[in-house]
Structure 1
Amino acid sequence: MNLASLAAHPSRSRGRRFTEPDSGPRGPRDAFQRDRDRIVHSGAFRRLRHKTQVFIAPDGDHFRVRLTHSIEVAQIGRTMARVLGLNEDLTEALSLAHDLGHPPFGHGGEEALQQSLADVGGFDHNAHTLRLVTALEGVYPEFDGLNLSWETLEGLAKHNGPVVSPSWALAEADSDFGLDLATWPGLEAQVAAIADDIAYDNHDIDDGLRSGILILDELLEVPIVARHWAAIGQRHPSLSTDRRQRALVRDMIGTMVGDVLDETRARVAAAGVTTIDDVRLAGRQLAGFSPAVGAEERELKRFLYARLYNSAALTPIRIEAQRIVADLAAAYRDGVAPLPPGWQRGEGEVARLRGIGDFIAGMTDRFAIAQHERLIGPVTLPDRF
């Protein structure tokens, strides 16, 4: 792998919280490749198969879940990293792990868990990702967590930029293995973050159209969509609507990726950065959309929030999902349902309540539904969404 000077080099990693011997049957992998593989083999990664992306518990159909979304982010991020001469393995590790901390039912479930634990610091899925990989995963005999390299932890902690006021979970991870939260992360983390935006913008269009919640004629009022739709029609005038929709998603991803590559090169050149430390101290995001495409992408996001995420079809489902999470939190808090052994986090009430948060956050959609039906009462969710 021919890495650029401002890429993360595994041979120059700041290391791991717990030193590990190089001996043993580890295979020919460098530090970031091991990080990626530890993430892929983790229980938290497997649970993403049954966690909401947009639609709840979508067994039996083609809607995306957190797992498939994470794989798609990794594909886009890895492609951009390769073109820019960045470390593909680190980019892939960050892309695959970025959603590990999501509780059941997506952002709706997160809002409910945040409210249920507000008196003990609340809940944040980004911070919980760090908590998972540094403390909760328990598969190694020598340490808790996955003992990922510093660069991977840094990227997970601040892939959206510097963190001025970390939540309690992120502050704990930072105090244990300082992550320089006030600076920008390396370019691999920035690329993974923009790959996340590209993936969910376009794949949520695909799922929204497939579900029937998004109306194609309304979507075509969004300029970036209309432009690509027209271009596909000119190239393939007899293409069916269904295939044209698939081509739309592919072409828009390609346009956004190309724009990010051009803009990132221009920002790097203008900033005069030549090392990863220069990137961290640049004082601004270096990987991102150009002003023109960025404005179009924000307009697309506004459309998706109005017509998909906050649509009349999904709102009652989100409310029911939030009720499930809130009811479970209340039942465990009040002692109506005891936590399974091993979920008490140290001494005291704060530790007990945060252990409840850890347990609920680790649930899949279907496990949360089953627990609610067993402990509290029936759940009303449509099979389709």
Structure 2
Amino acid sequence: MAGALQQHENHIPPPGYDPTSVERWAAEKDKRPGRTAFQRDRARILHSAALRRLAGKTQVVTPGERSASAWDPSPRTRLTHSLECAQVGRELGAALGCDPDLVEAACLSHDLGHPPFGHNGEEALNEFAHDCGGFEGNAQSLRLLTRIEPKRFTPEGSVGLNLTRAALDAATKYPWPRGAHPTDPASRKFGVYEDDRPVFDWARKEAPGTRICFEAQVMDWSDDVAYSVHDVEDGLHAGHLDPNCLYAEPERQAVFEVAIGRYVPADTDPAELAAALDRLLDEEWWPHGYDGSAVAQARLKDATSQLIGRFCLAAEAATRAAYGGGRLTRYAAELVVPRETRMECAVLKAVADRYVMQRAEQTRLRADQRVVVAELAEALTARAPDGLDPQFRTLFDQAPDDRARKRVIVDQIASLTDASARSLHVRLTGHL
């Protein structure tokens, strides 16, 4: 990747953005001058194979799992979640003065690096990759956008989708390498592998330290809003959650125990979470007595709309109160989300965690998934380049050392859907 190619496109940046924001790592001529650089970014992600593959990756409820409702038996996948996150982010970003196409591009990108089996697969791959830089879904997203997804090539090789500087920055929730979290040294969250540092450093050229750009903050909150609300909705649809249990004290305490330390700080008073849950339960639109009937389905849809509006409007109002009107872009502001709103969002996450993700059958399924990933990694390591897709076979053959070859195997596994991972596992190991 050559720094000599760092030139901006031949058109005016969108309002609120400077020419450096629309630069691409590899300069390109604008094929349609009436279209903005961020519109092109959004289109490239929408048309990518990586986005399509998210249709085969589980969000919370496994596709094909029996649903208690015949009205809407199809749970969300990583793809539908990403599309919903993008809709939330686009509107919230536009209300705050961001370029809506830029925020939507970031939202569409945010889960691209997730491997098969979601966070469970992520943990298994991180164990396998411990000696070649580890694995992290967000760092994998950056690698996919800038290297793996085939769209643009230079004499030095693939530059991925060749998105703008601002789009790559907006898609980066954790702008630091492994082990460099600015406030929590024990955190396993990071946004870039060492061999992707050149393009990361280029994208972050004007960033103040590890500060997260405003568009990425909007994307991150939109992600929280979308999955906290929709995971509860999917849990209700699938019959895993009885809303009446949220009035029972033992069940409430179990939810708060899940939330504390995982979704809210460890020193959070459970009474604060109880107040947040009660505020939601006291709303007339809350899906009380959900029974899967058509009327109940409609009430549930209204509740999801009410919750998304509640969370987004609270963030919009608080941010505007802090920064006033005008366009809030890049590093001109911080997204302000009231603490009460974050507590309400967190308690919804904990409800889905408690009643959907912690089911006994999910525990057994996750154990099986970890075995699939571990055995698949072992089989590919023993056989490579056999077993690799043509794209990754070429990269494996070109890799300069064992560390780089192992990273190619990680990239191959991360690109698989849940079904294709199981299929390849059976083909290579003979184990069902």
TM-score calculated relative to the size of structure 1: 0.84
Report how far residue 160 of structure 1 moved.
5.1
Report how far residue 39 of structure 1 moved.
0.8
Report the counterpart of residue 348 of structure 1 in structure 2: 401
Out of 153, 163, 169, which is 1:154 matched to?
A: 169
For residues 322 and 431 of structure 2, what CA distance do their matches in structure 1 show? 54
Report the counterpart of residue 43 of structure 1 in structure 2: 49
- 1:15 corresponds to 2:23: yes
For residues 326 and 7 of structure 1, what CA distance do their matches in structure 2 show? 48
* Residues 7, 187 of structure 1: 8 Å contact kept: no
> Structure 1 vs Structure 2: percent identity of aligned residues?
35
For residues 125 and 7 of structure 1, what CA distance do their matches in structure 2 show? 32
* Residues 105, 321 of structure 1: 8 Å contact kept: yes
* Residues 324, 369 of structure 1: 8 Å contact kept: yes
- 1:244 corresponds to 2:299: yes
* Residues 10, 32 of structure 1: 8 Å contact kept: no
Report the counterpart of residue 326 of structure 1 in structure 2: 374
Higher RCO (C-alpha under 8 Å, 6+ residues apart): 1
Residue correspondences, number: 360
For residues 362 and 109 of structure 2, what CA distance do their matches in structure 1 show? 26
Report the counterpart of residue 227 of structure 1 in structure 2: 282
Report the counterpart of residue 364 of structure 2 in structure 1: 316
Out of 423, 426, 432, which is 1:370 matched to?
A: 423
Q: Which moved more, 1:241-250 or 1:162-171?
A: 162-171
Q: Which moved more, 1:339-348 or 1:117-126?
A: 339-348
Report how far residue 59 of structure 1 moved.
8.4
For residues 365 and 263 of structure 1, what CA distance do their matches in structure 2 show? 40
Q: Deviations over 1:13-32 (max 9, x none)?
A: 2511111123xx44631111
For residues 202 and 218 of structure 1, what CA distance do their matches in structure 2 show? 17
- 1:266 corresponds to 2:321: yes
Out of 403, 414, 426, which is 1:361 matched to?
A: 414
CA pair 16-112 structure 1, distance change in 2 beyond 3 A: same
For residue 52 of structure 2, what is the amino acid of its counterpart? R
* Residues 20, 165 of structure 2: 8 Å contact kept: no
CA pair 161-311 structure 1, distance change in 2 beyond 3 A: farther
For residues 23 and 133 of structure 2, what CA distance do their matches in structure 1 show? 30
CA pair 273-291 structure 1, distance change in 2 beyond 3 A: farther
- 1:196 corresponds to 2:223: yes
1:1-385 equivalent positions in 2, closer than 5 A: 8-9=16-17, 11=19, 13=21, 15-22=23-30, 25-26=31-32, 28-58=34-64, 61-142=73-154, 143-157=158-172, 159=173, 164-165=180-181, 169-178=192-201, 179=204, 180=207, 182-219=209-246, 222-229=277-284, 240-269=295-324, 276=329, 278-279=331-332, 286-335=334-383, 338-340=387-389, 341-344=393-396, 346-379=399-432
* Residues 153, 160 of structure 2: 8 Å contact kept: no
CA pair 76-21 structure 1, distance change in 2 beyond 3 A: same
For residues 65 and 31 of structure 1, what CA distance do their matches in structure 2 show? 29
Report how far residue 44 of structure 1 moved.
0.7
CA pair 187-43 structure 1, distance change in 2 beyond 3 A: same
For residue 199 of structure 2, what is the amino acid of its counterpart? D
CA pair 181-59 structure 1, distance change in 2 beyond 3 A: farther
Report the counterpart of residue 383 of structure 1 in structure 2: none
* Residues 57, 365 of structure 1: 8 Å contact kept: no
- Partner-residue secondary structure (3-state), 2:218: helix
CA pair 202-39 structure 1, distance change in 2 beyond 3 A: same
For residues 42 and 339 of structure 2, what CA distance do their matches in structure 1 show? 32
CA pair 219-202 structure 1, distance change in 2 beyond 3 A: farther
Q: Which moved more, 1:197-206 or 1:246-255?
A: 246-255
* Residues 125, 410 of structure 2: 8 Å contact kept: yes
For residue 38 of structure 2, what is the amino acid of its counterpart? F
For residues 118 and 81 of structure 1, what CA distance do their matches in structure 2 show? 37
For residues 373 and 294 of structure 1, what CA distance do their matches in structure 2 show? 43
Q: Deviations over 1:291-319 (max 9, x none)?
A: 11112222232332222222223111111
* Residues 214, 330 of structure 2: 8 Å contact kept: no
* Residues 122, 136 of structure 2: 8 Å contact kept: yes
TM-score calculated relative to the size of structure 2: 0.76
* Residues 101, 132 of structure 1: 8 Å contact kept: yes
Report how far residue 169 of structure 1 moved.
4.1
For residues 98 and 191 of structure 2, what CA distance do their matches in structure 1 show? 32
Task: Calculate the aligned-residue CA RMSD, in Å.
Answer: 2.9
CA pair 91-273 structure 1, distance change in 2 beyond 3 A: same
CA pair 167-203 structure 1, distance change in 2 beyond 3 A: closer
For residues 209 and 160 of structure 2, what CA distance do their matches in structure 1 show? 24
